[in-house]
Amino acid sequence: MKSESTLKNTISGSLSQREASVFNWAPQKQDQFVFASMRVLSSFVILILVALMVMLIKTAWPVLVDQGTNFFTQSIWNPVDEEFSALPLIYGTMITTFIAVIIAAPISIMVALFVNEVLTPKLAKLVGLFVEMIAAVPSIVFGLWGIFYLGPFIKNTLAPFLKEHFGYLPLFQGPSFGIGVLTASLILSVMITPTITSICREVFKTVPAMRKEGALGLGATKFEMMLLTIVRPSFSGIVGAIVLGTGRALGETMAVAMVIGNQPQIKASLFAPAATMASIIANEYAEADSEMHIAALCGVGLVLFVLTLIVNLVARSIVWNYNRSSK
């Protein structure tokens, strides 16, 4: 306690001192100084992004030259013969993200509606807090949960069920060992639910109460009210939320690496193992000792970087447009 109060004293003391000595400039000059320094600092953020890009391209260059277009078209990843292609990894990332979003998006929207519109404010706060707490769970914990609980559940319960009822689809054929695309997708869907939910909730909150009351006054049921006055006008906001969730799923590494089976291949079955761009970098980088192998991993990193950049840009532009049109 004592030290805290002395600390406060020193801070306020030094502040008044500074006002007297260091910043004894004209107000305009102060503004100019702060503005200039802020500008330098914020341009560093952009510089870092550019530097990252340059570094990735530089390190990945050997593999791009050596493999040419094969780096994007072949289904091969062979560190022994140094033949690399990002295609199976792009596929793995895309398919897991796609399934995760398909599952998570409707659930998140419904959760957001339920929390905002159905629950009493106190309960809403509590449930909202719990949903957002999922986002705070470390991804390695999700990975462990995937190995020890979700994997066996899929192997023993979900996969036999899917095979029995939808076995005619190539998606659900072949043996399931509880580790593979489906498990990774399910874990990802849980992980991105809080992201989508909390953004959707914010978007839904912007709907004026008058409109909701108006709809109810015109005789709409609660469901119709939600659909007409909340979901439909919020469409672009919802899309923005989903794209941000997609961005998170694209880059998720540890949880996916633990449950996807890490086999760079393109198979129709969701039970089969695959590998994602992030998982293969995490797995192989530490012990990659040939230059080409490191270049290939950096090449994969470059593709992932560009992909997430595009996804985020799309999300931002949708949210911007939405904000502009709603104003």
Q: Which chain residues interact with another protein by CB under 8 A?
A: 76-81, 147-148, 151-152, 155, 175, 177-180, 257-258, 261-264, 273, 275, 279, 282-284, 286-289, 293
Identity of the residue, 34 or 140, whose beta carbon is nearer to another protein in the bound complex: 140
Phi/psi for 114 (5° steps) reads -60, -45
Question: Residue 176 or residue 234: which is nearer to another protein going by CB?
Answer: 176
Q: State which amino acid sits at residue 2.
A: K
Q: Residue 179 contacts by C-beta under 8 Å, 6 or more apart in sequence?
A: 147, 151, 259, 260, 261, 273
The smaller minimum CB distance to another protein, of residues 124 and 288, is found at 288
Give least dist CB 193 to another protein, A: 25
- Number of Cβ within a 10 Å radius of residue 57: 14
What is the smallest separation between the CB atom of 144 and another protein, expressed in angstroms?
9
Q: Which is nearer to another protein, 194 or 273 (CB)?
A: 273
Closest CA to 145 of 248, 258, 252, 245: 258
CB of 300 vs another protein, minimal distance in Å: 13
Long-range contacts of the stretch 19-24 (C-beta < 8 A, 24+)? none
Give the whole-angstrom CA distance, residue 105 versus residue 119. Answer: 20
In this structure, are residues 231 and 302 in contact, taking their beta carbons and an 8 Å threshold? no
* Paired residues of 274 in beta bridges: 261
Residue type, 106: P
Shortest distance in whole angstroms from residue 86 CB to another protein: 15
Q: From CA 197, how far away is CA 118, in angstroms rounded?
A: 15
Minimum separation from the CB atom of position 94 to another protein (A): 19
Distance between CA atoms of residues 195 and 241, nearest Å: 7
* CA neighbor of 84 nearest in space, from 268, 298, 254, 282: 298
Min separation Cβ 218 and another protein, Å: 57
CB of 59 or CB of 263, closer to another protein: 263
Sign of the C-alpha dihedral, residues 79, 306, 74, 272? positive
Q: Is the dihedral of CA 314, 320, 200, 117 positive or negative?
A: negative
What 3-state class would DSSP assign to 38? helix
* Nearer to another protein among residue 31 and residue 291 (C-beta): 291
Among residues 261 and 301, whose Cβ is nearest to another protein? Answer: 261
Least CB distance to another protein at residue 80 (A): 4
Shortest distance, CB of residue 275 to another protein, whole angstroms? 8
Closer to another protein at the Cβ: 105 or 150? Answer: 150
Is the dihedral angle over the CA atoms 140, 141, 146, 148 positive or is it negative? positive
- Tell me the angle at which helices 87-113 and 291-326 cross, rounded to the nearest 10 degrees: 30
Report in angstroms how near the CB of residue 81 gets to another protein at its nearest: 7
* Nearer of residues 77 and 172 to another protein, judged by Cβ: 77
Q: What token pair was written down for 49?
A: 């992004």
